[in-house]
Chain A
Amino acid sequence: MKTADTRPAPPHRRVAPPYRIVALPAAIALGAVGGIAAEHANVPFVFGALAGAAAGVLGVLALPSIPTRRATVVLLGLGGLAALRHASFAGADRSWLLVVWAAATMLTLVLVDRADAETVPALDGGAALPSRLGETARVGGIIAIVVAIAAVAFVPTVTARLGRHVWPGLAPSDADAFGSPSSLKSSPDLDLTTRPRLSDAVVFTVDASRPDYWRGETFDVYNGSSWTNSAPDDDQTFLDHVGTKVEVPADPYDVGAENGRDFRQTFHVEAGYSDVVFAAPSAREVETDKLLHQRPDGTLRIATPFHGEVDPGAGFGKGAVYTVTSRSLPVTENELRAADVRPVPEPITAQYAQLPNTTARVVDLARAITAGQGTTYDKVRAIERWLGENTRYSLNAPLSPPKVDVVDDFLFHTRLGWCEQIASSLVVLARSAGIPARLVTGFAPGSRDALTGRFVVRERDAHAWAEIYFAGIGWQGFDPTASVPLAGDVHSSGSWLSAARHNAIPLAITAIVVMILLALTPEITAASRRRRERRATWSAGAMHRLERAGRKAGRVRAPPETPREYAHALAERIGDPRLEEVGDTLDAALYSAHGASGAARDRADAVLTSVRP
């Protein structure tokens, strides 16, 4: 025969029920961070996410000997540190995980505080706490809006004003170096017979007061299919550091670089590797921790043990920051036209104005285009116009066949090409007309980020343009591709975060509207409820009309006043004794077991309609 077990149950410590729900957002928060950390450590994302989620669940539910709030906050703190550690490495693709972490962290804090509140005994007769879901949703929405506004307001300010101008960044790995876009790596030549890779990946961002072309390298020798630089690789000047500052000697023939206005830019490298120091023309000072050397044409690159070869250890890695101060002379068209009165220095003519290795018909075309143009500037503009009128831009243009002059093929056959063909044509045509010119590669300004104010430069912003020498002024850039859509034309990026940044102002307005609506929700709900009550019962509607009449008469109903008391007081104030009967009818309708008669209601309605406060 079984007997009831009357022994006391062994003590079983469990987390109090209100805290159990906390495990869910805690798991999400730590799972998001775990996923980011795992990817950074080259571990599959799912492993990190599961580990983080498990830590969150166990931390909340399996440590009953530790106050749940304390355990949860400590866990969230660790998750926050991990988020800080890996935030900069998350990349655009995983930035949403940071948002998930932030949202889940905030919800965890709300829920754990709510759970704490539920452990306090309820006040006898007091109001019940709002529903957990409702409170969490409302608070979460408001906080999310405030956080978004704070992020929009402060992140650019902090990064722009407090951000360092020099930072080493990560040491690039071999994979970074060899996987990096060719547009970021110094190269002895520019092959015009290969199609460039133009992805949406951000290669660097630039803090600058205005957009400019970020110049990388120049090329002056054209051989029909590619460009090279006439300066030998070993003809390079190592630049001395003074602290982190490197003074860049000015090209003696570049007057603007000597006497122009300063323009400061800070580059934040986002790609895994880069060994070219990009800068608006013409760089005069670089702040960096890297050893630099300068080619005779002014190109700056990171010094490597083996010239022209990629050295992962010497390049800028992801996160590297360097600042360039450039100097250029703002000029007008008239000044450029007037430059012809001065002679072009002989070394410039010798290096940059020699007839290029091209076909005779290209030379003839150049002469035909520039015929009748009096100045160098007008000749260049004429060539630009001709290119704009007779060629089209396309990244899908057919590649020139082998052993065919690329410029000739472009100008006389396909008339379809991208910036390299178009800019090469301008340089070749200009030289054919006796104008000193060279090809420049680098990046278009990119799109300005609405959130950070930085110019976001992507791989597809890689660009080529021409520089023309003007005596007494120096090198001036001409972009013949400008009249047609550039490869670097701004498109919406794939990143939702970038899309959000581009739409920061509409988002902020929407957020404010939503916040106002949230704030007004209780009032709107209460008003709606009152309206429904008025429609549902005669007494509520009549009471509303009576109170409205009272408000107009300047006599608001006091909370403890019964309808009858109020109506009588109002009758005396307005001088309309009929209101007393309205009060009596209301009292009967509200409190009498039999209610008010239909006739009494009709009379009351008539009084309320005709009363004149």
Chain B
Amino acid sequence: MSPRTDEGGPGVAAGHGPGAALRGAAAHQGPGDLTLTSIVLFTLGAYGVAAGAATGQEGVVAVGVFAFTLFAIGILWPVWSLSRLTVSVVAPTDAVVGDPVELGIRISGRAARLDVRALDPPGNWWRTSAPADGRLPHTAARRGVFRSVRIQLRTSAPLGVFVRTRTLRVMLPAPIAVGPRPSAAAAILQPVPTERISMGSPVIVSSGVDTVRAVRPYAPGDPARLVHWPTSARRGELVVREHEPPPAVGVALVVDLRGATPEAAASLAAGIGRATLAGGGLVWCGTYEDGAPVGATVADTLDLERRLARAAPGPPASPPDRWPVETVSA
């Protein structure tokens, strides 16, 4: 299954970027469910009105009208109650398939009690009353970049006659990139041309060889382990060691999702990439995104996940010269 960067996945709507309207999201409403209570009330109502009308007994008709009225109220109240609610959702910008995320949900309007859950996949129900601001746990099920989520509200208040369910597609103020769940893979740490390092964002590369080139004054953000205490003691100020840059290692991941198992390929690519990054290696990632091949060194695992979240079936970018290439195909 391919990720849907513009239309699919767990409730993706096309063409809406950050800042899209939070309120008044287009809603499509599902039906509700009648309960045992509704059957009982309807039966009592029908029997009461019919029998009472046949005999002219007002008492029987009154009982029937009472049951029918409860039946009607029990249906109309939840429908009316949910129809007045609007929902806005704020989601984190990044997630990984299978990992829980918390959606910030705001329910405007007034309802004594209702249950809420996120769809795609359907999560657990959580109760609240409205208006409310809460955090809705959800687990992303599919890789992709999603600009909306589907939220489901339900209530049977006050009589439990009819469980009204309303599904809302809520635009997110900022899209959420759901990366693939990394599968177990070994790091690929092979030498890469050093001139390519500058293409990526700054990274701390550790080769495991502690070769001190010089010391320099401490700057905020420097790890404490780099403080060179003897020199600091001599100078009376903190100084840190500067290492020789280690030899660069890494891999060029060519992710080709044109095949039968794109999600497995994306997961494998994520696994290799993460393991390589964790091992201090560089990762160049070539994918097909937004209708064009994209190739670049990733800065970190977050960047890798975002790239893979956007990846779609298509011809990936060609790897840079002299880089060890690992092609992951669907």
Contacts and interface: CB of A to CB of B under 8 A. Distances in A.
Nearest to A452: B58
Nearest to A102: B66
Interface string A301-334: 0000000000000000001010000000000000
Contacts of A266: 56
A173 B14 CA distance: 79
A113 B126 contact: no
B127 to A, nearest CB: 4
A150 B36 contact: no
A319 B57 contact: yes
A70 B156 contact: no
A209 interface: no
B172 to A, nearest CB: 17
Interface in B148-173: 156-161
Nearest to B135: A124
Given A84-B48, A102-B66, A127 B130 contact: yes
17 contacts: A74-B36, A80-B63, A80-B67, A84-B60, A84-B63, A109-B158, A123-B116, A123-B134, A124-B136, A124-B137, A126-B133, A127-B128, A143-B69, A154-B61, A159-B56, A164-B53, A452-B58
A120 B158 contact: no
Interface stretch (B39-47, B89-97, B179-187, B224-232): B39-47
B55 interface: yes
B49 interface: yes
A102 B129 CA distance: 27
Given A129-B113, A158-B49, A319-B55, A122 B126 contact: yes
B154 to A, nearest CB: 10
Contacts of A127: 128-132, 134
B209 interface: no
A164 B55 contact: yes
Given A109-B159, A113-B158, A319-B55, A121 B69 contact: no
Interface string B56-97: 111111111111111001100000000000000000000000
Given A112-B160, A123-B128, A129 B112 contact: yes
Interface string A91-133: 0000100100010011001101110111011111111111000
Interface in B4-59: 35-37, 40-41, 43-44, 47-49, 51-59
B134 A124 contact: yes
Nearest to A149: B69
A159 B53 contact: yes
A158 B112 CA distance: 34
A143 B73 contact: yes
A147 B69 contact: yes
Which applies to chain A's interface (DSSP): helix, strand, loop or mixed?
helix
Interface of A: 69-70, 73-74, 76-77, 80-81, 83-84, 87-88, 90, 95, 98, 102, 105-106, 109-110, 112-114, 116-118, 120-130, 135, 139, 143, 146-147, 150-151, 154-155, 158-159, 161-164, 167, 207, 266, 268, 319, 321, 451-452, 522
Contacts of B61: 154-155, 158-159
A173 B56 CA distance: 22
A144 to B, nearest CB: 10
A163 B159 contact: no
Contacts of A139: 112, 157-158
B218 interface: no
Closest 6 A-B residue pairs measured CB to CB?
Answer: A126-B128, A113-B160, A162-B53, A126-B134, A87-B59, A163-B56
B151 to A, nearest CB: 12
Contact of A155 (B35, B55, B58, B115): B58
A608 B132 CA distance: 33
Contacts of B56: 159, 163-164, 167, 207, 266, 268, 321
A505 B190 CA distance: 91
Contacts of A451: 58
Nearest to B48: A84
B323 interface: no
Contacts of A162: 49, 53-54
Nearest to A70: B36
B40 A73 contact: yes
B196 interface: no
A117 B163 CA distance: 11
A591 B105 CA distance: 27
Given A73-B40, A129-B129, A151-B66, A158 B53 contact: yes
A116 to B, nearest CB: 7
A37 B49 CA distance: 20
Contacts of A83: 63
B130 A121 contact: no
Given A88-B57, A164-B55, A319-B55, A147 B113 contact: no
Contacts of A150: 65-66, 68-69
Task: Name the residue in A74, A84, A109, A161 with the highest tally of chain B Cβ atoms < 10 Å from its Cβ.
Answer: A84
A109 B73 contact: no
B211 interface: no
A76 B40 contact: yes
Task: Name the residue in A98, A120, A163, A522 with the highest tally of chain B Cβ atoms < 10 Å from its Cβ.
Answer: A120
A77 B59 contact: no
A415 to B, nearest CB: 43
A272 to B, nearest CB: 15
A83 B52 CA distance: 12
Contact of A84 (B47, B68, B73, B102): B47
A560 B291 CA distance: 38
Interface string B136-153: 110000000000000000
Given A77-B40, A77-B44, A102-B66, A121 B53 contact: no
B55 A117 contact: no
Contact of B70 (A81, A90, A124, A143): A143
A113 to B, nearest CB: 3
Contacts of B105: 123
Contact of B132 (A69, A123, A155, A158): A123
A116 B36 contact: no
Contacts of B160: 69, 109, 112-113, 116
Contact of A113 (B63, B68, B135, B156): B156
A118 B112 CA distance: 12
B261 interface: no
Given A84-B48, A127-B131, A163-B55, A155 B62 contact: yes
Contacts of B124: 121
Contacts of A159: 52-53, 56-58, 61
Given A98-B63, A135-B112, 13 more contacts: A73-B40, A83-B63, A84-B64, A87-B60, A88-B60, A105-B70, A109-B159, A113-B160, A117-B127, A117-B157, A127-B128, A150-B65, A319-B57
Contact of A151 (B62, B74, B128, B158): B62
A106 B67 CA distance: 9
B37 A109 contact: yes
A128 to B, nearest CB: 7
A543 B129 CA distance: 28
A116 B156 contact: yes
A69 B37 CA distance: 9
Contacts of A207: 56
A207 to B, nearest CB: 8
Contacts of B55: 88, 163-164, 167, 319, 321
